[in-house]
Chain A
Amino acid sequence: MKKKPEFKIQNITHPSKPLADYNDPLLRELVAHLRQNRTQLREEWARRITDAQLLTAMTKEEIFSEATSVYDNYVEVLETGSVEALQAYARNLSERIIPRGVETHEVVGIVLLLRDVLARSLFKKYQGDFELLNKVLDAYEPAANRIANTVAVSFVQERERVIRQQQEAIRELSTPVLQVRERLLILPIIGVIDAHRARQLTEQLLRGIRSNRAKVVVVDITGVPTIDHTVANHLVKTVEASRLMGASVIITGLSAEIAQTLVTIGVDLSKMNAVGDLQGGIEEAELLLGYKVIIAANEPAVGAAGKEGKS
Chain B
Amino acid sequence: MQVPILKQGSYLIASIQSVLSDSDLVQLRDNLGERVGTYRSRGVIIDVTVLDVIDSFATRTLRAIAHMLKLRGAETVIVGIQPDVAFAMVQLGLTLEGVGTALDLEEGLLYLDTKTKRAAVNGN
Chain B residue at minimal CB-CB distance from A242: B86
Given the known interface contacts A203-B83, A209-B83, A246-B79, the answer about A241 and B90 at a Cβ–Cβ threshold of 8 Å is yes
Contact of A244 with B96 in the complex, beta carbons under 8 Å: yes
Contact of B103 with A206 in the complex, beta carbons under 8 Å: no
CA distance A203 to B91 in the complex (A): 13
Our pick among B90, B107, B108, B111 for the contact of A244 (Cβ within 8 Å) is B90
CA distance A215 to B107 in the complex (A): 9
Any B CB within 8 A of the CB of A30: no
Residues of the A chain whose Cβ atoms lie less than 8 Å from the Cβ of B20: none
Residue interface bits B79-112, CB-to-A below 8 A is 1, else 0: 1011111110111000110000111100110010
Contact of B87 with A210 in the complex, beta carbons under 8 Å: no
Any B CB within 8 A of the CB of A240: yes
Our pick among B87, B101, B104 for the contact of A206 (Cβ within 8 Å) is B87
Given A206-B84, A206-B86, A210-B82, 6 more A-B residue pairs with CB atoms under 8 Å apart are: A210-B103, A244-B81, A245-B86, A245-B101, A246-B79, A246-B107
Our pick among A214, A237, A246 for the contact of B87 (Cβ within 8 Å) is A237
Residues of the B chain whose Cβ atoms lie less than 8 Å from the Cβ of A240: 90, 95
Residues of the A chain whose Cβ atoms lie less than 8 Å from the Cβ of B102: 246
The 4 closest A-B pairs by CB, nearest first: A206-B83, A246-B102, A241-B86, A246-B103
Contact of A245 with B95 in the complex, beta carbons under 8 Å: no
| Chain B interface residue number, banded | 20 to 34
Any B CB within 8 A of the CB of A207: yes
> Smallest CB–CB gap between B92 and chain A, Å?
10
A209, A213, A237 interface centre (most CB from chain B within 10 Å) = A237
Contact of A209 with B95 in the complex, beta carbons under 8 Å: no
Contact of B87 with A202 in the complex, beta carbons under 8 Å: yes
Contact of A207 with B107 in the complex, beta carbons under 8 Å: no
| Chain A interface residue number, banded | 10 to 19
A residues lining the B interface (CB < 8 Å): 202-203, 206-207, 209-210, 213-215, 237-238, 240-247
Beta-carbon contacts under 8 Å, B63-84 to A: 78-79, 81-84
Chain A residue at minimal CB-CB distance from B108: A246
> Smallest CB–CB gap between B28 and chain A, Å?
19
Contact of B89 with A241 in the complex, beta carbons under 8 Å: yes
CA distance A241 to B91 in the complex (A): 9
Beta-carbon contacts under 8 Å, B34-90 to A: 78-79, 81-87, 89-90
19 of the cross-chain contacts (CB-CB < 8 Å) are A209-B103, A210-B82, A210-B83, A210-B103, A213-B103, A213-B107, A215-B107, A238-B87, A240-B95, A241-B83, A244-B78, A244-B85, A244-B86, A244-B89, A244-B90, A245-B83, A245-B101, A246-B107, A246-B111
Residues of the B chain whose Cβ atoms lie less than 8 Å from the Cβ of A245: 81, 83, 86, 101, 103
Residues of the B chain whose Cβ atoms lie less than 8 Å from the Cβ of A210: 82-83, 103
Contact of A246 with B83 in the complex, beta carbons under 8 Å: no
Chain A residue at minimal CB-CB distance from B106: A213
Contact of A244 with B103 in the complex, beta carbons under 8 Å: no
Our pick among A202, A203, A243 for the contact of B101 (Cβ within 8 Å) is A243
> Smallest CB–CB gap between A266 and chain B, Å?
15
Given the known interface contacts A207-B83, A244-B81, the answer about A237 and B90 at a Cβ–Cβ threshold of 8 Å is yes
CA distance A18 to B1 in the complex (A): 71
> Smallest CB–CB gap between B7 and chain A, Å?
23
Residues of the B chain whose Cβ atoms lie less than 8 Å from the Cβ of A242: 86
B81, B86, B91, B101 interface centre (most CB from chain A within 10 Å) = B86
CA distance A213 to B79 in the complex (A): 13
> Smallest CB–CB gap between B123 and chain A, Å?
23
Residues of the B chain whose Cβ atoms lie less than 8 Å from the Cβ of A247: 103
